A and B are shown apart, each in its own frame.
Chain A
Amino acid sequence: MSSWTGRVREFGLRNLPPERLLPDSQPAYMTSAIYLFGALTIGALATIIASGTILALKGPTWWHVQSIGHFFNSIHLWSVELFFFFMVIHLWGKFWMAAWRGGRARVWMTGTITFLVAIPCAFTGYISQQNFDAQWIATQGKDGMNSLGVGAFFNVLNFGQMYSYHILLLPIAVVALVSLHILLVRRHGIVPPLPFDDSVAAASEPKP
């Protein structure tokens, strides 16, 4: 029996051979602009991670005291806006082409869970701003959390806990889920457009 490293390699090569992981070409239907929005979402996520890393290095109050900090805070905010903007359009596009077809249920589910995890990731950012807006949102949010019965585990008035969730735990979850989502897309291929219904086409043709 081979070692665990060998078994992992064989598993990887069996499920994701190099030509499938990093293909040379894509199907012709991918020339439609609707297929761009997954990649645009990843681009926005990369900008979020890069700007968030710089903000984390300088601390949560940096953006209040230096204009360069304010600049990176704005980059972080607007890349989050674009992340959700592109992700929702990606979601609409995939929903209307029934992207779970052809054994792609796990691709669809990892995308859905990513969306759900990204929401508290953004919300914890709003309460990490270190201003009155953050305090207001936290005091409102704690009522919501308590109404769900999870206030003892997620105390939104505890800045340290929420900041840890925002810059470490939830970003790790989002990046891991996005990575899994992309690997599953590579494994199963991009979902093709829905088959054209010939009977509908025939009915819409002008009668001789």
Chain B
Amino acid sequence: MEAAQAGQLVARILAGEKAAESELVQQYSRGVSIILIRATGDHSLSQDLSQETFQLTLEKIRHGEVREPEKLSGFICSLARNLATDHYRRSRWSEQFADPEAVELIAETAPSQLDRVLQAEKSKRVRQLLSELSSRDREILKRFYIEEEDKDQICADLKLSSLHFNRVLHRARERYRELYRRLGS
């Protein structure tokens, strides 16, 4: 969203336009969700914190506390990250695991039959992708995504430029997108 558009959205919310509030949530909810999942590692918690983020954002806009409307994106990101940090500051790790039942609440439920079928299809698509790659490109994907090695280390070991490395990742991702679309269709 451009800075001017963000400013207009804030102005519309200040004017009491409910549609503008829905528009804000719709525009930012996906991004806020990703930020909070990265920060917390917990889908359920990230959903709660996401709701709290938008609740607080709208309150602050309505009270005129968003002083730089054109920087709305930065404001929402900071608010989401601060809420995640505050959550961990308030709840200690040992207290979280003192009650055995708390572990069960955090654990993910077992995959359903549909999940297993979809996972099997995804595996099939990835194996097809891997079979289309050269052994060096497979090595790059393996070392970066599975073994989580540093990009610089991989490039040094395999004598690759950064540009070549980017291209390998980009090609693999785009080919995966194409195979994934066939799965979806």
A in complex with B: no
Interface residues of A (CB under 8 A from B): none
